[in-house]
Amino acid sequence: MDERYSRQILFDGIGKAGQEKLSNSRVLIFGCGALGASHAETLARAGIGFLRIVDRDFVEFTNLQRQTLFSEKDARERLPKVIAAKNRLKEINSEIEIEAIVADVNHSNIENLSAGCDLVLDGTDNFQTRYLINDACVKSKKTWIYGAAVSSYGATMTIIPNQTPCLRCVFEELPPVGSAPTCETAGVIQPIISVVSAFQTTEALKVLTRNTKALHKSLMQFDVWQNDWRKIKLHQPNLDCKTCGQRNFEFLEAESAEFSAVLCGRNAVQIAPSKPANLDLTDLAKKLENLGKVKQNEYLLRLSVDGYELTVFRDARAIVSGTDDVATARSVYAKFVGV
Ligand SMILES: [Zn+2]
């Protein structure tokens, strides 16, 4: 073990004792797209003893430009991302334990999925899931590291419940449905993934080796194209925060802000936000026009893309045709409408 990790052990912040701590650590990564796969590779190479990776998607050719763990073969075989990731990670480090879980994380399974892990890393692509992670981690007093990247922009912060502000202290409410850009609508370049993942995984190494003084204690924002880097210092948690101040974990409740998804007819799933929204369909049509065939009238917008037909209504409800799998429909909705 010492030889494999010798350069890391030589590093002052880690040393032999730190390496021992890493090999006894259990880390959970939600999402195995560009960010999640990058976190997984770094932490597997660093010798984290146990990695649990959770994701609901399959590898596609459009992923290969930035999701560095995956190959053309994985995309041809449409392997679940966590399975393709585990196969590759085993080749990189056969000495650690990797648990790959194909699942759509939601209020009913998040607490079980988090059980037994010391630290949670965000590799998801939507705010809905991040609020859920925030609720679950604050409730169980588990440190988690938020990270997001789209276009050439990214952000990250490390959340230690009761010690630092939580995600909801900083972003009080979910952005309106359809307002946030996604990698599908705004594109993304790989270097911003590397930057955000580098900060998240470095923070993870600090947390796991108990180097808490070295944490950056800020909301970090980067734009690798505009050459803009910001570090917004974070202070105390907000006492009025619904999550960490009032301990009201509404995203963990079944009837909360979570999207409901129900099978409707043959090969179609309806997705509906619990709070009605008012979508600007013309604006959404503009974002989607280069991705597939878009038709729009006063009441609805229809997008044909990747073998699915997505019909979006002004109240943000949508019907995804071409699948009878709820997780797939939620994923299509998150990518093309954005949550
Ligand atoms: Zn808070």
Is residue 39 within 8 A of residue 197, CB to CB? The reply is yes
Q: Is 337 helix (H, G, I), strand (E, B) or coil?
A: coil
- The DSSP string of 189-243 is -HHHHHHHHHHHHHHHHHHHTT-GGGS--EEEEEETTTTEEEEEE--SPPTT-TT
> What CA–CA distance (Å, rounded) separates 190 from 70?
14
How many A from CA of 278 to the centre of ligand 1? 27
Provide the pLDDT for residue 39. 98
CA distances to 26, 40, 46, 85 from 49, rounded to whole Å, are: 6, 12, 9, 16
How many A from CA of 258 to the centre of ligand 1? 19
How many A from CA of 144 to the centre of ligand 1? 13
Q: How do residues 81-90 score in pLDDT, each as one tens digit?
A: 999 999 999 9
Provide the pLDDT for residue 253. 87
Provide the pLDDT for residue 108. 85
Is residue 285 within 8 A of residue 275, CB to CB? The reply is no
The HSE-up count of residue 273 (CA atoms within 13 Å, CB side) is: 22
Closest to 54 in 3D by CA, of 127, 161, 129? 129
- The DSSP string of 3-34 is TTTHHHHHSTTTHHHHHHHHHT-EEEEE--SH
Provide the pLDDT for residue 326. 84
The tokens of 245 are what? 């101040």
Closest to 155 in 3D by CA, of 331, 5, 35? 35
How many A from CA of 124 to the centre of ligand 1? 20
Provide the pLDDT for residue 262. 72
Provide the pLDDT for residue 256. 57
Provide the pLDDT for residue 1. 55
| pLDDT in single tens digits along all 339 residues of the chain | 569 999 999 999 999 999 999 999 999 999 999 999 999 999 999 999 999 999 988 899 999 999 999 999 999 998 999 999 999 999 999 999 999 999 888 888 999 999 999 999 999 988 889 999 999 999 999 999 999 999 999 999 999 999 999 999 999 988 877 788 888 888 999 999 999 999 999 999 999 999 999 999 999 999 999 999 999 999 999 999 999 999 999 999 866 545 677 777 678 888 887 766 788 899 999 989 888 899 988 878 999 998 999 999 888 888 899 998 888 898 899 889 887
How many A from CA of 74 to the centre of ligand 1? 39
Is residue 338 within 8 A of residue 318, CB to CB? The reply is no
How many A from CA of 336 to the centre of ligand 1? 29
Amino acid, single-letter form, for residue 199: F
Provide the pLDDT for residue 299. 79
Provide the pLDDT for residue 242. 96
How many A from CA of 168 to the centre of ligand 1? 5
What is this structure's pTM?
A: 0.85
Provide the pLDDT for residue 85. 98
